[in-house]
Amino acid sequence: MILCRVLGNSVSTVKHPCYEGHKVLVVQPVASDGESALGASFVSVDAVQAGIGDLVLCAREGNTARQILGNDEDPFHSVVLAVVDMIDRGGELTLGPGPKAEQS
Amino acid sequence: MQLAKVLGTVVATQKHAALEGVRLLLIQPHDHHGFPMGPALVAADALQAGEGDTVEWVTGREAALTLPDTFTPVDVAVVTIVDHYFGDDEAGGIRQ
């Protein structure tokens, strides 16, 4: 699982039938400070009602995604499976939802 | 799952029998700013996406699961045709 920040969402009309009713989020992998971007953004299916600005956990592996979202036959590859409340690195806290300015 | 722009189609006459009837697209993966990420890929397409479309694609075992025959030797496939997605502020926040 990787830490990501939710940037926004992606809307499609034409899609594989298994994607109907699912929300797709644009997410940016970030370091454990919750701020520094790591690598390219990607899209991920939401399983926990995450929103823009949330710090989330994403799995980028098909079997995990299928267990959470569908059955053995559905082509899911990436899923948002948790909204992070807090990361504690030896007393140094990274808080989850929202940009840092709102947390002080 | 990643975003990509469809650059065109790929046609092959001589191919493995399992690829008969599988539509192939040339796609360029990109991030939410539209910046290209990595090389262009050839993706299987079951949605009739066309040149210029923005799509979402998957790799690995999931690619074959998008096709009518789920035991097809492909490793990249298109799963949705994107209407619009969150981009960056320069584009007013919304792309396409």
Q: Where are the domains of chain B?
A: 2-95
Res. B7: pLDDT tops 80: yes
- Closest chain A residue to B35 measured between Cα atoms? A40
How far the first Cα of chain A sits from its last, in Å, is 28
- The string over B31-43, giving b where at least 16 C-beta atoms fall within 10 Å of a residue's C-beta and e elsewhere, is bbeeeebeeebeb
| Cβ atoms A16, B80 nearer than 8 A | yes
Give the pLDDT band of residue A90 (cuts 50, 70, 90).
Answer: confident
Place of tokens 């030797």: B73
Please state the rounded mean pLDDT for residues A27-44.
91
| Spatial distance between the Cα atoms of A49 and A80, rounded to a whole number of angstroms | 9
Read off the pLDDT of residues A91-101 as tens digits, 9 standing for 90 and up. 777 777 654 44
> Rounded to the nearest 5 degrees, what angle is found at the Cα of A81, between the Cα atoms of B27 and A88?
115
Residue A101, domain member (yes or no): no
| Residue spans of beta strands (DSSP E) within chain A | 2-15, 24-29, 42-46, 55-59, 79-83, 86-89, 92-95
Residue A13, domain member (yes or no): yes
Give the pLDDT band of residue A10 (cuts 50, 70, 90).
Answer: very high
Higher pLDDT, A97 or B44: B44
CB distance B80–A19 less than 8 Å?
yes
Please state the rounded mean pLDDT for residues B47-65.
93
Res. B94: pLDDT tops 80: no
Give the pLDDT band of residue A88 (cuts 50, 70, 90).
Answer: confident
Q: What is the CATH number of the domain that holds A76?
A: 2.40.50.220
Global ipTM: 0.76
State how far residue B24 is from chain A, nearest Cα, in angstroms.
16
Q: Where are the alpha helices (DSSP H) in chain B?
A: 61-65
CB distance A16–B79 less than 8 Å?
yes
**Nearest to residue B85, comparing CAs of B53, B39, B48, B45?**
B53
Residue A41, domain member (yes or no): yes
State how far residue B17 is from chain A, nearest Cα, in angstroms.
22
Residue A102, domain member (yes or no): no
pLDDT reported for residue A38: 92
Q: Considering chain B, what percentage of its residues have pLDDT values greater than 90?
A: 68
pLDDT reported for residue A46: 95
Range of the domain at A74: 2-91
Mean predicted lDDT score pLDDT of chain A: 86
pLDDT reported for residue B95: 62
Residue A103, domain member (yes or no): no
Domains: count for chain A: 1
Residue A48, domain member (yes or no): yes
Pick the CATH number of B2-95 from 3.40.50.10860, 3.40.1390.10, 3.40.190.10, 2.40.50.220: 2.40.50.220
Res. B27: pLDDT tops 50: yes
